[in-house]
Amino acid sequence: MRPAPLPVRDGLGPARVRLRGGPVLAELTARFGAPARSKVLAGEVVDADGAVVDDATVLPSGSHVFLYRELPDEVVVPFDVPVLHRDDDLVVVDKPHFLATMPRGRHVAQTALVRLRRELELPELSPAHRLDRLTAGVLVFTARREVRGAYQTLFSRALVRKTYLARAAVDPRLVLPRVVRSRIIKRRGVLQAGTEPGAPNAETLVELVSPDGLYRLTPRTGRTHQLRVHMAGLGVPIDGDPLYPNVIDVPADDFSTPLRLLAQRIEFDDPVTGARREFVSRRMGP
Residue 123 C-beta-side C-alpha neighbours within 13 Å: 10
The dihedrals phi and psi of 36, each to the nearest 5 degrees, come to -70, -40
Contact 6, 66 (CB under 8 A): yes
Parallel, antiparallel or unpaired: strands 184-185 and 194-195: antiparallel
Q: How far apart are the first and last CA of the chain?
A: 38
Distance CA 42, CA 223 (A): 43
Per residue in 80-117, is it b (16+ CB within 10 Å) or e — as a string? ebeebeeeebbbbbbbbbbbbbebeeebbbbbbbbbbb
Strand blocks (E) in the chain? 15-18, 22-23, 46-47, 58-59, 64-67, 83-86, 90-95, 126-127, 136-142, 161-167, 178-182, 184-185, 194-195, 202-210, 214-219, 261-269, 276-280
Helix, strand, coil shares of the chain, percent, nearest 5, are: 15, 30, 55
Selecting among 89, 94, 132, 241, the annotated active-site residue is 132
Gap between the Cα atoms of 103 and 143, Å rounded = 17
Task: Specify whether 132 is catalytic.
Answer: yes
Q: Which residues are catalytic?
A: 132
